[in-house]
Chain A
Amino acid sequence: MNKVVNDPAAALDGIQDGMTLMVGGFGLCGIPENSIAQLVKMGTKNLTCISNNAGVDDFGLGLLLQAKQVKKMISSYVGENDEFERQMLSGELEVDLIPQGSLAERCRAGGAGIPAFFTPAGFGTEVAEGKEVRIFNGKPHILESALTADYAIVKAWKGDTEGNLIYKATARNFNPMMAMAGKITIAEVEELVPAGSLDPNQIHTPGIFVQRIFQGEKFEKRIEQRTVRSKQ
């Protein structure tokens, strides 16, 4: 099954105001930067974005925040973004902060047909407010529900025309679970190859989870915290 579309415009066709999007990445690592640029171009408003982070002021999802396209963020850590903090503290932006492991598992559950699960994370904290608590093995756990999205937008290293994906290093992060949890999943890849070119043993995300795939025109891959040691 050929899932290839020509460009970000074709890939993101159908995304409308008010929709819920999952966007892969951890910090600026493994984010679908061509698709985010396209969303800014489209000007789609009132989006709910599920993403571990909110980018930085001038890159990643920070670009959507600057353009005031986001109504609500569902994230685990949002520390590197001044505009985000301003919008949140002023009440312009709704924010749902979720423990990182719960966020990952909620996406996985959404894609795996598990409506909810119990986790110890967040018990006894604000996160547990209003949630069912049950004791397993003598330890309290809280009920967390699955997350799904109208569109999931993920970034992979290599992909084939069938939508099979391989990620590189820690750019994998949330991308595989989000790919599973989108009603429509768009994969943006650095290298798009014909079916049969990738070793089936090495596939991280099987093509069944991907509806549209395209090769990004260029990837800036900005580094958030460049840290090096000296060669002595």
Chain B
Amino acid sequence: MALDKTGIAKRIAQELQDGWYVNLGIGIPTLVANYIPEGIEVEFQSENGILGMGPFPFEGEEDPDLINAGKKTITAREGASFFDSAMSFAMIRGQHVQLTVLGAMEVSQNGDIANWKIPGKMVKGMGGAMDLVASAENIIVAMMHSNKAGESKILKACTLPLTGVGCVRKVVTELAVLEIKEGKFHLLERAPGVSVEEIIAKTEGDLVVPEFVPEMQL
């Protein structure tokens, strides 16, 4: 069975390591915060100006001055700090943040990512995504393997305007965990009950498939 969004978030959460500062993008990436493995401590950075982002507030305790980059009301954990946008992106560009998780419309086999614009149809802007992908050492993309029309989003080359070039290391979809290296996708894990054949069929880019592909442990 293909994973749902929660499943994708749970699998990505397994990548977290103790002591990391992590930036989570809007959508599925935000859910990763709910599944931090036991026994490790991570701090979440939100690029609008907080380190130490906590959970959503209880009803009635929302503070309009305290939001995340998705403009949702949040709380601050003990030990949190606030800062301005230039300082925030100094953390990001300066590679002080160890992991960035973000969504994508398309990813290519050389690690290009597109997620900010569909010409003539949708222009929302890149927000902080271009700064994040250009600077982060460790980028994981959370996305669905195919679009609503059933076309693969895991491509030889992106067709949409790029957000960044050669930057994505790992992709987690509802079907698989893929690593990008040497210009190809490498199949690391498959979702429980999903066949290698299905993943091959739904991947347009070059895919290296080892003899044994383990199931994700969620």
Interface residues of A (CB under 8 A from B): 26-30, 52, 75-80, 85, 88-89, 95, 97, 99-105, 107-108, 119-127, 157, 167-177, 204, 221-231
CA–CA, A107 and B163, complex, Å = 22
Q: Is B39 an interface residue (CB 8 A)?
A: no
Cross-interface CB contact of A122 among B49, B62, B117, B134, cutoff 8 Å? B134
Cross-interface CB contact of A228 among B58, B66, B88, B162, cutoff 8 Å? B58
Chain B interface residue count, CB cutoff 8 Å, equals 55
CB distance from A95 to the nearest CB of B (A): 8
B120 CB contacts on chain A under 8 angstroms = 89
Are B164 and A227 in contact, with the CB atoms below 8 A?
Answer: no
Q: List 8 tightest A-B contacts by C-beta distance, closest first.
A: A101-B89, A101-B131, A79-B124, A124-B165, A104-B85, A99-B130, A221-B64, A77-B127
A29-B71, A224-B71 known; A100+B163 contact, CB < 8 A: no
A172 CB contacts on chain B under 8 angstroms = 49, 82-84
Nearest B residue (CB) for A190: B65
CA–CA, A79 and B19, complex, Å = 33
CA–CA, A167 and B124, complex, Å = 28
Residues 40-81 of chain B, each 1 if its beta carbon lies under 8 Å from chain A, else 0 = 000000111110000111111111111111111110100000
Cross-interface CB contact of A101 among B56, B73, B92, cutoff 8 Å? B92
CB distance from B2 to the nearest CB of A (A): 27
Are A121 and B130 in contact, with the CB atoms below 8 A?
Answer: yes
Are B72 and A102 in contact, with the CB atoms below 8 A?
Answer: no
B202 CB contacts on chain A under 8 angstroms = none
CA–CA, A86 and B101, complex, Å = 31
CA–CA, A163 and B74, complex, Å = 30
Cross-interface CB contact of A170 among B48, B59, B92, B163, cutoff 8 Å? B48
A171 CB contacts on chain B under 8 angstroms = 65
A170-B82, A230-B59 known; A122+B48 contact, CB < 8 A: no
Cross-interface CB contact of A99 among B64, B76, B82, B128, cutoff 8 Å? B128
A100-B127, A125-B161, A125-B163 known; A170+B67 contact, CB < 8 A: yes
Are A174 and B84 in contact, with the CB atoms below 8 A?
Answer: yes
Are A29 and B64 in contact, with the CB atoms below 8 A?
Answer: yes
Nearest B residue (CB) for A85: B123
Besides A172-B49, A176-B84, 10 more A-B contacts (Cβ < 8 Å) are A26-B85, A77-B127, A78-B125, A99-B127, A101-B92, A101-B131, A124-B162, A167-B84, A228-B73, A229-B55
B60 CB contacts on chain A under 8 angstroms = 228
Nearest B residue (CB) for A142: B134
Interface residues of B (CB under 8 A from A): 46-50, 55-74, 76, 82-86, 88-89, 92-93, 112, 117, 120, 123-131, 134-135, 161-166
A119 CB contacts on chain B under 8 angstroms = 93, 131, 134
Nearest A residue (CB) for B133: A121
B163 CB contacts on chain A under 8 angstroms = 125
Are B48 and A99 in contact, with the CB atoms below 8 A?
Answer: no
Are B123 and A177 in contact, with the CB atoms below 8 A?
Answer: no
A-B contact pairs, 12 of them (CB 8 A): A28-B71, A29-B65, A29-B71, A76-B126, A99-B128, A101-B86, A104-B88, A125-B130, A170-B67, A172-B49, A173-B49, A225-B67
Are A101 and B84 in contact, with the CB atoms below 8 A?
Answer: no
Most interface-central of B57, B71, B162 (chain A CB within 10 A): B71
A76-B126, A99-B131, A121-B93 known; A223+B73 contact, CB < 8 A: yes
CA–CA, A100 and B90, complex, Å = 12
CB distance from A176 to the nearest CB of B (A): 4
Are B86 and A225 in contact, with the CB atoms below 8 A?
Answer: no
Most interface-central of B46, B60, B65 (chain A CB within 10 A): B65
A102 CB contacts on chain B under 8 angstroms = 130-131
A76-B126, A78-B123, A169-B50 known; A100+B85 contact, CB < 8 A: yes
